[in-house]
Chains A and B, each alone.
Chain A
């Protein structure tokens, strides 16, 4: 992008166009002829990965917006309708929601790479500051996107984050009201968040263009941190960088697909599968994992205004990095002390992230303060001092020398890089899973489920028996608002025929109307009807259940979880464990016992060892021989619980089988593709070494 292009198209028509708008020349000089340093390592492919992820997020986001309704009454259900009814809607939603996490993983690696190799140093200060702006925009976009599904975490996250602005002296309250467009987070808030969530990615794309432009003016930094001197130092962008970035992207896609197809809810909070309720706050409000370090900084300062200032400064300080670190040597490879402090800084960030997921109490608060100090000390004390006292090692004379030196000792393969990536990622993300630490109680036993693992499918018999238990026991109190009679005949479900599903439907009387005469009437259920609630309205349901409102069961298996603890959640990533919900349901149904002697059971409650707090309003719902099984399965509570938990897992995720099946195909494809890309890359680079 620097200076006029020397590119001359060969075809006369293209020449004609080029004279009038030198677009092809621009593309040619930016992405084909553009010289890149020969010694770039794979940390540099995260720039390409980020462009790819921005594209994925924009494409899937535009599509999701075609099906989403930004209204407080419909937002939650419209997201569920996308997942359940839209063709491949589950895929698009999971691509988008996990895509946000992938985007942040990539941007953190990209930023740390810049930090390690001194990519912010002259002449790349503006390039770096543009990057900080992109990061801020990403944070705003990610936050507003998280609000849109209008779950409990969305609502309360929005409340907590917007309230940060109330810390501003004098005008804080007015600013918060301005952000909300009301007296609390509500429909106007959701509407404007949707509008901005749609707008900001295009603003990001615009700043990315500036970022790339700046990059192409000053040229890329490289692991040696020396500026290119001769032709020998560089290779043209295409095919060299193109193929290398391509290979990096495919490897990253494998990692991404692992989440999308096998553990799509691993990074999400189960509370967000409960519709927003302005009257009840979840036990712990936790942001998405990528904000956790900043959340920890916010909470470690005992004053409201101070915390907010510290949190924002933690990001703003990055913009001043080029002036805080005035060392002449760029790359930490040649700075023995800076290298060590860099890794300490990475550890500080990971630990801050882990603390952000812990409740703010006791030793966590002290640790948070120490680490917050360390975070700022790195930028404000360590780097300025190091740049004065450190004696760096000799840097190579040129990029070509660096390549020759490295070529002797065999470049490290990709595997350790990916492994490090996964482990670091797993540790940070796992932090979020721990947020419920204070709830206590024994951990429900982990059962073996037929739908577990990459090849898992539902046990049809269990689904059918589970449906029977649901119908005869659960349905007397609970509704199932997101499931339709037609779903019983859907592929991947209990395997009813359309006629059987219709028979189930027509057994049930549905309120309909008004008809031509203006009257309400009852008619037999149809396939398109939902499972009706057993009570005409919420108050009737409360009255019949001693004041407790029986929750809807459609999403129960996704909305419940329990603490898995360290290091379990890291194994969960590799084992693709996602059976927290069904395990919990099964345990809860069997967890009724007599209270221990010193336990004060409140009036009208029952003791359950797996229920948080142990006092549950629901009496033991099921006992042996209550439901008749025709297939010889023992009629025991144990079996009932397992079957109904299986059934509820299916109602919570009706496309589970389709997801795993497509996942297998995608994985096989990506692995083959990655191999092909690797060998092609080797062939292409063979003449460059």
Chain B
């Protein structure tokens, strides 16, 4: 008598648990498309394809700003002095230690390509400003050097380098 009723109990509990579990799986699966739709759509992704930039019009000591995936990218044609300044700093004294060589492509030392978004809270730093003749962020006063490395202020990291490659001596492909 006791055994029968407890066996029924288990069977009924199993049914309840199974139904509940399937309902939970269904709810989770249904939520997936509702969340996934927020990700970039196919046209946005296609528009984020690599871009090519011609470097010939950029004179020494000048820089241009291009946009890739909605982000501003600074391309600076650095002077000899700017490069030397960047390389003269002892790396260990930097908040985010990185050599200048690691931030440019070998053989193309004069070209600095950085994503122009302050690593503090996302403002756009101004080129050729600040104590190091690099970048100065007006929002909360972060100062970057001619290699785009953080030197002063609240920003925790150097300006990031986007993925890019030299297609020829005067042309790069970003992305």
* Closest residue of B by beta carbon distance from A89: B37
Q: Mark B21-46, 1 if CB is under 8 A from A, else 0.
A: 01101100100011011110111101
- Asked whether A208 is an interface residue with its Cβ less than 8 Å from the other chain, the reply is no
- Asked whether B58 is an interface residue with its Cβ less than 8 Å from the other chain, the reply is no
Q: What's the nearest-Cβ distance from chain B to residue A346, in Å?
A: 34
The answer to whether B42 touches A84 (Cβ under 8 A) is yes
- Asked whether B98 is an interface residue with its Cβ less than 8 Å from the other chain, the reply is no
Chain A residues, Cβ within 8 Å of B16: 680, 683
Tell me which residues from 476 to 493 in chain A have a Cβ below 8 Å from any Cβ of chain B: 484, 486, 490
The answer to whether A81 touches B41 (Cβ under 8 A) is yes
The answer to whether A87 touches B19 (Cβ under 8 A) is no
CA distance A528 to B37 in the complex (A): 20
Among A66, A86, A490, A669, chain B packs the most CB atoms within 10 A around the CB of: A86
Chain B residues, Cβ within 8 Å of A680: 15-16, 19
CA distance A677 to B43 in the complex (A): 41
- Asked whether A91 is an interface residue with its Cβ less than 8 Å from the other chain, the reply is yes
The answer to whether A63 touches B34 (Cβ under 8 A) is yes
Among B15, B37, B39, chain A packs the most CB atoms within 10 A around the CB of: B37
Label chain A's interface by main secondary structure: helix
- Asked whether B131 is an interface residue with its Cβ less than 8 Å from the other chain, the reply is no
The answer to whether A88 touches B36 (Cβ under 8 A) is yes
Chain B residues, Cβ within 8 Å of A67: 37, 41
Q: What's the nearest-Cβ distance from chain A to residue B87, in Å?
A: 33
The answer to whether A676 touches B47 (Cβ under 8 A) is no
The answer to whether B22 touches A672 (Cβ under 8 A) is yes
CA distance A67 to B18 in the complex (A): 37
CA distance A639 to B45 in the complex (A): 36
The answer to whether A676 touches B34 (Cβ under 8 A) is no
Q: Mark A524-552, 1 if CB is under 8 A from B, else 0.
A: 00111000000000000000000000000
The answer to whether B19 touches A528 (Cβ under 8 A) is no
* Closest residue of B by beta carbon distance from A529: B46
- A528-B47, A679-B15, A680-B15 in contact; A87/B41 too (CB < 8 A)? yes
**Other-chain residue from A59, A84, A526, A669 in contact with B34 (beta carbon distance below 8 A):** A59
The answer to whether A526 touches B37 (Cβ under 8 A) is no
* Closest residue of B by beta carbon distance from A95: B33
CA distance A528 to B41 in the complex (A): 12
Chain A residues, Cβ within 8 Å of B18: 676
- Asked whether B12 is an interface residue with its Cβ less than 8 Å from the other chain, the reply is yes
Chain B residues, Cβ within 8 Å of A86: 37, 41-42
- A87-B37, A673-B22 in contact; A683/B15 too (CB < 8 A)? yes
* Closest residue of A by beta carbon distance from B16: A680
- Asked whether B49 is an interface residue with its Cβ less than 8 Å from the other chain, the reply is yes
**Other-chain residue from A66, A85, A527, A676 in contact with B22 (beta carbon distance below 8 A):** A676
CA distance A595 to B19 in the complex (A): 65
Interface size class of B (residues with CB under 8 A): 20 to 34
Tell me which residues from 48 to 73 in chain B have a Cβ below 8 Å from any Cβ of chain A: 49
Q: What's the nearest-Cβ distance from chain B to residue A10, in Å?
A: 22
**Other-chain residue from B12, B36, B39, B43 in contact with A81 (beta carbon distance below 8 A):** B43
Among A59, A484, A683, chain B packs the most CB atoms within 10 A around the CB of: A683
Interface size class of A (residues with CB under 8 A): 20 to 34
Chain A residues, Cβ within 8 Å of B47: 528
CA distance A63 to B36 in the complex (A): 11
- Asked whether A92 is an interface residue with its Cβ less than 8 Å from the other chain, the reply is yes
Tell me which residues from 50 to 86 in chain A have a Cβ below 8 Å from any Cβ of chain B: 59, 63, 66-67, 81, 84-86
CA distance A86 to B38 in the complex (A): 8
CA distance A662 to B48 in the complex (A): 28
- A528-B47, A673-B26, A676-B18 in contact; A683/B42 too (CB < 8 A)? no
**Other-chain residue from A92, A490, A676 in contact with B33 (beta carbon distance below 8 A):** A92
Chain A residues, Cβ within 8 Å of B12: 683
Chain B residues, Cβ within 8 Å of A59: 34
- A486-B42, A676-B19 in contact; A63/B37 too (CB < 8 A)? yes
Q: Mark A299-329, 1 if CB is under 8 A from B, else 0.
A: 0000000000000000000000000000000
* Closest residue of B by beta carbon distance from A91: B33
The answer to whether A527 touches B46 (Cβ under 8 A) is yes
* Closest residue of B by beta carbon distance from A526: B49
CA distance A117 to B29 in the complex (A): 38
Q: Mark A482-517, 1 if CB is under 8 A from B, else 0.
A: 001010001000000000000000000000000000
Chain B residues, Cβ within 8 Å of A683: 12, 15-16
CA distance A91 to B42 in the complex (A): 15
Q: What's the nearest-Cβ distance from chain A to residue B10, in Å?
A: 13
* Closest residue of B by beta carbon distance from A678: B19
Q: Mark B91-126, 1 if CB is under 8 A from A, else 0.
A: 000000000000000000000000000000000000
CA distance A444 to B47 in the complex (A): 41
* Closest residue of A by beta carbon distance from B12: A683
* Closest residue of A by beta carbon distance from B29: A669
The answer to whether A676 touches B15 (Cβ under 8 A) is yes
The answer to whether A89 touches B41 (Cβ under 8 A) is yes
- A81-B41, A672-B22, A683-B15 in contact; A88/B46 too (CB < 8 A)? no
Chain B residues, Cβ within 8 Å of A679: 15
* Closest residue of B by beta carbon distance from A673: B22
Q: What's the nearest-Cβ distance from chain A to residue B91, in Å?
A: 38
Chain A residues, Cβ within 8 Å of B34: 59, 63, 92
Chain A residues, Cβ within 8 Å of B15: 676, 679-680, 683
Chain B residues, Cβ within 8 Å of A81: 41, 43
Chain A residues, Cβ within 8 Å of B43: 81, 85, 484, 528
Please list the 7 inter-chain residue pairs (A to B) with the smallest Cβ-Cβ separation, ordered nearest first. Answer: A88-B33, A528-B46, A85-B42, A85-B41, A676-B19, A87-B36, A86-B41
20 new A-B contacts at CB < 8 Å, known A59-B34, A85-B42: A66-B37, A81-B43, A85-B44, A86-B37, A87-B37, A87-B41, A88-B33, A89-B41, A92-B37, A486-B42, A490-B42, A528-B43, A528-B46, A673-B22, A673-B23, A676-B22, A677-B19, A680-B15, A680-B19, A683-B15
B residues within 8 Å of A by Cβ? 12, 15-16, 18-19, 22-23, 25-26, 29, 33-34, 36-39, 41-44, 46-47, 49
Interface CB pairs A-B, < 8 A, 19: A66-B37, A66-B38, A84-B42, A85-B43, A86-B41, A86-B42, A88-B33, A88-B36, A89-B41, A91-B33, A486-B46, A527-B46, A527-B49, A528-B47, A672-B22, A673-B22, A673-B23, A676-B18, A680-B15
